[in-house]
Amino acid sequence: MLDLMDMAIFDFLTGNMDRHHYETFKMFGNETFPLHLDQGRAFGKAFHDELSILAPLLQCCLVRQTTLATLLKFHNGKPLSSSLRDAMKVDPVSPVLWEPHMAALDRRTAIILDAIRKCVQKSEAPVDNNDVNDFV
């Protein structure tokens, strides 16, 4: 489940709006992981943040501690755009990404962290005893 949350976060960061399914290695059985294939629409719309991509995260409110730590590092320290810009500097076709896409990465990092914050707040909400009694 955490792998799918990571995939939703990755898709949201890159703006990949057409994740129809995911692939795994069948030969590994339950010890497999989703493969991030089909990034055809990634980095398509720099000025539009498609929040529906985050639906798995918002519905399940699950995130790896390491994923959260990485997002916080990019939000509070060196931005993701800056790290990515440095990594792609040596690419022969540099700049690989249009500057508005770099800005979108940083904006979307903040949006993801806000979604996680809302999940935490939701989990800390007081329990209504009437609701609990309906399920007992």
Could you give the residue numbers annotated as active site?
18
Residue 74, CB-side half-sphere exposure with 13 Å CA sphere:
23
- Helix, strand or coil, per DSSP, at residue 23: strand
123 φψ region: left (φ > 0), alpha (ψ -120 to 50), beta (else):
alpha
Q: Quote the crossing angle between the two packed helices 80-88 and 99-123, to the nearest 10°.
A: 140
